[in-house]
Amino acid sequence: MNQAPSKSPPLILADQGFFWTGIHRQHTPNGTIASGQMFVQFQIPERVLHPYPIVMVHGGGGQGLDFLGTPDGRPGWATYFLRQGYAVYVVDRPGHGRSPLHPEALGPMTPPLAYEPAMTLFTAPGKQPNAWPNAQKHTQWPGTGVIGDLTLDQFIAGQGPFLVFLAQTQQLMQNAGAELLDRIGPAILLTHSMGGPFGWLVADVRPKLVKGIVAVEPLGPPFAQLPMGLGDLSYGLTTIPMTFSPPVKSPTELGRETRKPSKIGLADCFVQTEPARQLPNLSSIPVAVVTSEASAWSMQDHGTVDFLVQAGVQAAHLRLEDHGLRGNGHLMMQERNSDEIAAFLERWISEHVVEEQA
Protein backbone atom coordinates (compact mmCIF):
# COMPACT_ATOMS: atom_id res chain seq x y z
CA MET A 1 0.00 0.00 0.00
CA ASN A 2 1.16 3.55 -0.64
CA GLN A 3 2.35 5.40 2.41
CA ALA A 4 3.41 9.01 2.77
CA PRO A 5 7.05 9.51 3.77
CA SER A 6 7.57 9.55 7.52
CA LYS A 7 7.97 12.98 9.12
CA SER A 8 9.91 11.42 12.01
CA PRO A 9 13.68 11.89 12.19
CA PRO A 10 15.78 9.02 10.83
CA LEU A 11 16.01 6.00 13.09
CA ILE A 12 19.70 5.27 13.66
CA LEU A 13 20.65 1.74 14.67
CA ALA A 14 23.80 0.50 16.35
CA ASP A 15 23.11 -3.07 15.23
CA GLN A 16 20.50 -5.37 13.74
CA GLY A 17 20.31 -8.99 12.73
CA PHE A 18 18.65 -12.32 13.44
CA PHE A 19 19.19 -15.78 14.86
CA TRP A 20 17.19 -18.88 15.83
CA THR A 21 16.67 -20.51 19.21
CA GLY A 22 15.05 -23.79 20.22
CA ILE A 23 16.64 -25.80 17.40
CA HIS A 24 16.08 -29.54 17.72
CA ARG A 25 17.85 -31.98 15.39
CA GLN A 26 15.22 -34.46 14.30
CA HIS A 27 15.89 -37.69 12.39
CA THR A 28 13.48 -38.39 9.54
CA PRO A 29 13.43 -40.77 6.55
CA ASN A 30 14.71 -37.84 4.50
CA GLY A 31 17.65 -37.16 6.79
CA THR A 32 18.31 -35.00 9.86
CA ILE A 33 16.25 -31.82 9.92
CA ALA A 34 15.85 -28.82 12.22
CA SER A 35 12.53 -28.54 14.03
CA GLY A 36 11.06 -26.41 16.80
CA GLN A 37 13.19 -23.39 15.93
CA MET A 38 12.12 -19.82 16.71
CA PHE A 39 13.23 -16.94 14.49
CA VAL A 40 14.43 -13.87 16.39
CA GLN A 41 14.96 -10.49 14.72
CA PHE A 42 16.74 -7.83 16.74
CA GLN A 43 17.40 -4.12 16.37
CA ILE A 44 19.52 -2.06 18.75
CA PRO A 45 19.14 1.75 18.67
CA GLU A 46 22.20 3.96 18.54
CA ARG A 47 21.32 5.30 22.00
CA VAL A 48 20.09 2.58 24.34
CA LEU A 49 18.27 4.37 27.15
CA HIS A 50 16.94 1.36 29.05
CA PRO A 51 18.82 -1.66 30.40
CA TYR A 52 16.17 -4.24 29.48
CA PRO A 53 15.16 -4.98 25.89
CA ILE A 54 11.58 -5.62 24.82
CA VAL A 55 10.78 -9.07 23.42
CA MET A 56 7.63 -8.93 21.26
CA VAL A 57 5.66 -12.16 20.88
CA HIS A 58 2.83 -12.41 18.35
CA GLY A 59 -0.42 -14.32 18.69
CA GLY A 60 -2.56 -16.81 16.75
CA GLY A 61 -1.50 -17.67 13.23
CA GLY A 62 0.38 -14.39 12.89
CA GLN A 63 4.08 -13.69 12.94
CA GLY A 64 6.54 -11.10 14.17
CA LEU A 65 5.61 -8.69 11.40
CA ASP A 66 2.46 -7.96 13.44
CA PHE A 67 4.77 -5.63 15.43
CA LEU A 68 6.85 -4.36 12.51
CA GLY A 69 4.17 -2.36 10.76
CA THR A 70 0.45 -1.78 10.37
CA PRO A 71 -1.75 -2.93 7.47
CA ASP A 72 -2.09 0.68 6.28
CA GLY A 73 1.68 1.07 6.09
CA ARG A 74 2.65 2.90 9.30
CA PRO A 75 5.58 1.88 11.52
CA GLY A 76 4.67 -0.66 14.16
CA TRP A 77 5.31 -1.05 17.87
CA ALA A 78 8.85 -2.33 17.27
CA THR A 79 9.80 1.01 15.73
CA TYR A 80 8.00 2.96 18.44
CA PHE A 81 9.94 1.26 21.24
CA LEU A 82 13.21 1.59 19.32
CA ARG A 83 12.62 5.34 19.20
CA GLN A 84 12.15 5.33 22.98
CA GLY A 85 15.62 3.83 23.39
CA TYR A 86 14.78 0.15 23.87
CA ALA A 87 16.56 -2.70 22.14
CA VAL A 88 13.79 -4.72 20.48
CA TYR A 89 13.62 -8.44 19.76
CA VAL A 90 10.71 -9.62 17.60
CA VAL A 91 10.10 -13.35 17.35
CA ASP A 92 8.30 -15.68 15.00
CA ARG A 93 7.12 -18.38 17.38
CA PRO A 94 7.96 -21.98 16.38
CA GLY A 95 5.89 -22.95 13.36
CA HIS A 96 5.03 -19.37 12.35
CA GLY A 97 6.38 -16.87 9.83
CA ARG A 98 10.08 -17.37 9.31
CA SER A 99 10.08 -20.35 11.69
CA PRO A 100 9.13 -23.11 9.25
CA LEU A 101 6.03 -25.22 9.82
CA HIS A 102 6.05 -28.58 8.05
CA PRO A 103 4.10 -31.69 9.10
CA GLU A 104 7.21 -33.85 8.82
CA ALA A 105 8.92 -31.70 11.44
CA LEU A 106 6.12 -30.64 13.78
CA GLY A 107 3.02 -32.65 12.93
CA PRO A 108 -0.48 -31.66 11.81
CA MET A 109 -1.52 -28.05 11.34
CA THR A 110 -4.77 -26.11 11.23
CA PRO A 111 -6.11 -24.36 8.12
CA PRO A 112 -4.93 -20.76 7.68
CA LEU A 113 -7.18 -17.96 8.91
CA ALA A 114 -10.04 -17.18 6.53
CA TYR A 115 -11.43 -13.72 5.87
CA GLU A 116 -14.82 -14.45 7.41
CA PRO A 117 -13.71 -15.31 10.98
CA ALA A 118 -11.11 -12.53 10.81
CA MET A 119 -13.88 -10.02 10.11
CA THR A 120 -15.98 -11.41 12.95
CA LEU A 121 -13.24 -11.52 15.56
CA PHE A 122 -10.81 -8.79 14.59
CA THR A 123 -11.55 -6.23 11.88
CA ALA A 124 -15.32 -5.64 11.66
CA PRO A 125 -17.04 -7.30 14.62
CA GLY A 126 -19.67 -4.59 14.89
CA LYS A 127 -20.85 -5.37 11.36
CA GLN A 128 -21.41 -9.06 12.07
CA PRO A 129 -24.65 -10.57 13.40
CA ASN A 130 -24.68 -12.07 16.88
CA ALA A 131 -21.44 -10.38 17.97
CA TRP A 132 -20.72 -9.58 21.61
CA PRO A 133 -22.27 -6.31 22.90
CA ASN A 134 -19.07 -4.23 22.90
CA ALA A 135 -18.37 -5.10 19.25
CA GLN A 136 -20.49 -2.11 18.21
CA LYS A 137 -17.85 0.18 19.74
CA HIS A 138 -15.11 -0.96 17.35
CA THR A 139 -13.96 2.05 15.31
CA GLN A 140 -10.18 1.88 15.05
CA TRP A 141 -9.51 -0.62 12.24
CA PRO A 142 -7.74 1.42 9.48
CA GLY A 143 -10.23 0.46 6.76
CA THR A 144 -13.67 -1.02 6.36
CA GLY A 145 -12.54 -4.38 7.76
CA VAL A 146 -14.64 -6.37 5.29
CA ILE A 147 -13.77 -8.26 2.11
CA GLY A 148 -12.59 -5.71 -0.45
CA ASP A 149 -10.69 -3.69 2.16
CA LEU A 150 -7.02 -3.50 1.16
CA THR A 151 -5.90 -3.26 4.79
CA LEU A 152 -7.75 -6.50 5.51
CA ASP A 153 -5.91 -8.08 2.57
CA GLN A 154 -2.61 -6.96 4.08
CA PHE A 155 -3.50 -8.51 7.43
CA ILE A 156 -4.80 -11.82 6.05
CA ALA A 157 -1.76 -12.25 3.80
CA GLY A 158 0.44 -12.67 6.86
CA GLN A 159 -1.75 -15.22 8.62
CA GLY A 160 -0.80 -18.88 8.47
CA PRO A 161 -1.78 -22.15 10.10
CA PHE A 162 -0.61 -23.23 13.51
CA LEU A 163 -0.01 -26.53 15.26
CA VAL A 164 -3.05 -28.60 16.12
CA PHE A 165 -1.92 -29.46 19.65
CA LEU A 166 -1.73 -26.56 22.10
CA ALA A 167 0.50 -28.44 24.54
CA GLN A 168 3.10 -28.91 21.82
CA THR A 169 2.87 -25.24 20.82
CA GLN A 170 3.45 -24.11 24.39
CA GLN A 171 6.32 -26.49 25.09
CA LEU A 172 8.12 -25.36 21.94
CA MET A 173 7.80 -21.67 22.75
CA GLN A 174 8.83 -22.19 26.37
CA ASN A 175 11.98 -23.99 25.24
CA ALA A 176 12.84 -21.40 22.58
CA GLY A 177 11.93 -18.46 24.82
CA ALA A 178 14.07 -19.66 27.70
CA GLU A 179 17.01 -20.11 25.34
CA LEU A 180 16.45 -16.60 24.00
CA LEU A 181 16.71 -15.03 27.45
CA ASP A 182 19.73 -17.18 28.28
CA ARG A 183 21.35 -15.55 25.26
CA ILE A 184 20.28 -11.92 25.60
CA GLY A 185 19.85 -11.61 29.37
CA PRO A 186 17.05 -9.94 31.37
CA ALA A 187 14.16 -8.61 29.27
CA ILE A 188 10.59 -7.37 29.28
CA LEU A 189 8.10 -9.64 27.50
CA LEU A 190 5.30 -8.07 25.44
CA THR A 191 2.92 -10.82 24.35
CA HIS A 192 -0.31 -10.98 22.38
CA SER A 193 -3.23 -13.41 22.36
CA MET A 194 -2.11 -17.03 21.79
CA GLY A 195 1.42 -15.80 22.48
CA GLY A 196 0.30 -14.92 26.02
CA PRO A 197 1.42 -18.24 27.54
CA PHE A 198 4.94 -17.46 26.26
CA GLY A 199 5.15 -14.87 29.04
CA TRP A 200 3.82 -17.09 31.83
CA LEU A 201 5.87 -20.14 30.80
CA VAL A 202 9.19 -18.41 30.15
CA ALA A 203 8.89 -16.46 33.40
CA ASP A 204 8.20 -19.72 35.20
CA VAL A 205 11.50 -21.27 34.10
CA ARG A 206 13.57 -18.04 33.95
CA PRO A 207 12.04 -15.85 36.69
CA LYS A 208 15.21 -13.81 37.27
CA LEU A 209 15.46 -12.96 33.56
CA VAL A 210 11.90 -11.66 33.11
CA LYS A 211 11.67 -8.09 34.43
CA GLY A 212 8.09 -7.41 33.38
CA ILE A 213 5.25 -8.85 31.32
CA VAL A 214 2.81 -6.84 29.22
CA ALA A 215 0.16 -9.32 28.12
CA VAL A 216 -2.08 -7.86 25.41
CA GLU A 217 -5.38 -9.73 25.52
CA PRO A 218 -3.73 -13.06 26.38
CA LEU A 219 -5.13 -16.50 25.66
CA GLY A 220 -7.91 -17.18 28.15
CA PRO A 221 -9.97 -17.03 30.20
CA PRO A 222 -8.51 -19.39 32.83
CA PHE A 223 -9.35 -23.08 32.35
CA ALA A 224 -10.88 -22.35 28.93
CA GLN A 225 -11.63 -25.14 26.48
CA LEU A 226 -10.34 -24.05 23.08
CA PRO A 227 -12.16 -24.71 19.78
CA MET A 228 -11.01 -27.02 16.95
CA GLY A 229 -9.78 -29.64 19.40
CA LEU A 230 -6.66 -27.60 20.24
CA GLY A 231 -6.84 -28.45 23.93
CA ASP A 232 -7.69 -26.60 27.11
CA LEU A 233 -5.97 -24.40 29.66
CA SER A 234 -5.95 -27.18 32.23
CA TYR A 235 -3.36 -25.42 34.42
CA GLY A 236 -5.41 -22.23 34.47
CA LEU A 237 -3.32 -20.02 32.21
CA THR A 238 -1.52 -22.77 30.30
CA THR A 239 -1.97 -26.24 28.87
CA ILE A 240 1.40 -27.52 30.10
CA PRO A 241 2.47 -27.53 33.76
CA MET A 242 3.64 -24.49 35.69
CA THR A 243 5.29 -24.28 39.10
CA PHE A 244 2.61 -24.01 41.77
CA SER A 245 2.98 -23.86 45.53
CA PRO A 246 1.89 -26.25 46.95
CA PRO A 247 3.06 -28.36 43.98
CA VAL A 248 0.61 -29.77 41.45
CA LYS A 249 1.16 -33.26 40.06
CA SER A 250 -1.96 -33.19 37.89
CA PRO A 251 -4.22 -30.38 36.70
CA THR A 252 -7.12 -32.13 38.43
CA GLU A 253 -5.56 -30.97 41.70
CA LEU A 254 -6.36 -27.37 40.75
CA GLY A 255 -9.84 -26.85 42.07
CA ARG A 256 -11.91 -24.27 40.28
CA GLU A 257 -14.98 -22.22 41.00
CA THR A 258 -16.92 -19.55 39.15
CA ARG A 259 -16.35 -15.94 40.08
CA LYS A 260 -18.86 -13.28 39.14
CA PRO A 261 -17.37 -10.16 37.50
CA SER A 262 -17.31 -6.82 39.27
CA LYS A 263 -19.15 -5.09 36.40
CA ILE A 264 -22.45 -5.92 34.75
CA GLY A 265 -22.15 -7.33 31.24
CA LEU A 266 -18.85 -9.17 31.69
CA ALA A 267 -18.53 -12.94 31.62
CA ASP A 268 -18.34 -15.22 34.62
CA CYS A 269 -14.85 -16.76 34.78
CA PHE A 270 -13.15 -19.52 36.72
CA VAL A 271 -10.62 -18.96 39.47
CA GLN A 272 -9.10 -21.47 41.87
CA THR A 273 -10.99 -22.64 44.89
CA GLU A 274 -9.51 -21.29 48.11
CA PRO A 275 -6.94 -21.74 49.47
CA ALA A 276 -5.49 -21.01 46.06
CA ARG A 277 -2.14 -22.39 44.98
CA GLN A 278 0.44 -19.71 44.28
CA LEU A 279 2.70 -19.05 41.29
CA PRO A 280 5.94 -18.29 43.17
CA ASN A 281 8.13 -17.81 40.10
CA LEU A 282 5.89 -14.98 38.86
CA SER A 283 5.29 -13.34 42.22
CA SER A 284 7.97 -10.64 41.92
CA ILE A 285 7.37 -9.79 38.25
CA PRO A 286 5.14 -6.79 37.45
CA VAL A 287 2.40 -7.84 35.02
CA ALA A 288 -0.05 -5.77 32.99
CA VAL A 289 -2.98 -7.39 31.21
CA VAL A 290 -4.08 -4.96 28.49
CA THR A 291 -7.64 -5.02 27.18
CA SER A 292 -9.30 -3.00 24.44
CA GLU A 293 -12.81 -1.59 24.58
CA ALA A 294 -14.46 -3.50 21.75
CA SER A 295 -12.86 -6.93 21.41
CA ALA A 296 -14.28 -10.24 22.57
CA TRP A 297 -11.49 -10.30 25.16
CA SER A 298 -13.07 -7.23 26.78
CA MET A 299 -15.67 -9.60 28.18
CA GLN A 300 -13.21 -12.05 29.77
CA ASP A 301 -9.74 -10.61 30.46
CA HIS A 302 -10.74 -9.76 34.03
CA GLY A 303 -10.77 -13.52 34.64
CA THR A 304 -7.09 -13.78 33.74
CA VAL A 305 -6.26 -10.91 36.08
CA ASP A 306 -8.31 -12.45 38.90
CA PHE A 307 -6.48 -15.77 38.45
CA LEU A 308 -3.07 -14.07 38.53
CA VAL A 309 -3.80 -11.94 41.59
CA GLN A 310 -5.29 -14.89 43.44
CA ALA A 311 -2.07 -16.82 42.70
CA GLY A 312 0.09 -14.06 44.23
CA VAL A 313 1.12 -12.23 41.06
CA GLN A 314 1.44 -8.41 40.91
CA ALA A 315 -1.02 -8.08 38.04
CA ALA A 316 -2.77 -4.89 36.93
CA HIS A 317 -5.67 -4.75 34.50
CA LEU A 318 -5.27 -1.92 32.00
CA ARG A 319 -8.55 -1.37 30.18
CA LEU A 320 -7.79 1.08 27.37
CA GLU A 321 -11.12 2.88 27.56
CA ASP A 322 -10.38 3.78 31.20
CA HIS A 323 -7.38 5.74 29.91
CA GLY A 324 -9.06 7.57 27.05
CA LEU A 325 -8.14 5.02 24.35
CA ARG A 326 -11.45 4.14 22.73
CA GLY A 327 -12.76 1.93 19.96
CA ASN A 328 -10.04 -0.70 19.71
CA GLY A 329 -10.34 -4.38 18.90
CA HIS A 330 -8.10 -7.38 19.47
CA LEU A 331 -5.45 -6.17 17.01
CA MET A 332 -4.71 -2.90 18.80
CA MET A 333 -1.09 -2.86 17.56
CA GLN A 334 -2.42 -2.73 13.98
CA GLU A 335 -5.11 -0.08 14.43
CA ARG A 336 -5.29 3.67 13.81
CA ASN A 337 -4.20 4.73 17.29
CA SER A 338 -1.46 2.12 17.66
CA ASP A 339 1.18 4.72 18.54
CA GLU A 340 -0.99 6.20 21.30
CA ILE A 341 -1.42 2.73 22.79
CA ALA A 342 2.31 2.03 22.53
CA ALA A 343 2.99 5.29 24.39
CA PHE A 344 0.55 4.27 27.12
CA LEU A 345 2.24 0.88 27.50
CA GLU A 346 5.69 2.47 27.57
CA ARG A 347 4.58 4.76 30.39
CA TRP A 348 3.37 1.75 32.38
CA ILE A 349 6.69 -0.03 31.82
CA SER A 350 8.64 3.06 32.86
CA GLU A 351 6.61 3.34 36.07
CA HIS A 352 6.55 -0.33 37.08
CA VAL A 353 9.68 -2.07 35.77
CA VAL A 354 12.62 -1.24 37.99
CA GLU A 355 15.59 -0.47 35.76
CA GLU A 356 18.47 -1.98 37.66
CA GLN A 357 21.75 -2.41 35.85
CA ALA A 358 21.23 -5.35 33.50
Name the residues annotated as catalytic. Answer: 193
Q: What are the DSSP calls for 162-223, one per residue? A: -BS-HHHHHHHHHHHHHHHHHHH-SEEEEEEGGGHHHHHHHHHH-GGGEEEEEEES-S-STT
Provide the 10 A C-beta neighbour count for residue 25: 9
Residue 89: which H helix or E strand, with range?
Answer: strand 88-92
- CB proximity list for 68: less than 8 A, separation 6 or greater: 76, 78, 79, 90
Distance CA 358, CA 279 (A): 24
Provide the 10 A C-beta neighbour count for residue 24: 15
Residue 258: which H helix or E strand, with range?
Answer: strand 256-259
Q: What are the backbone angles phi and psi of residue 192, rounded to the nearest 5°?
A: -140, 130
The amino acid present at 181, given as its one-letter code, is L
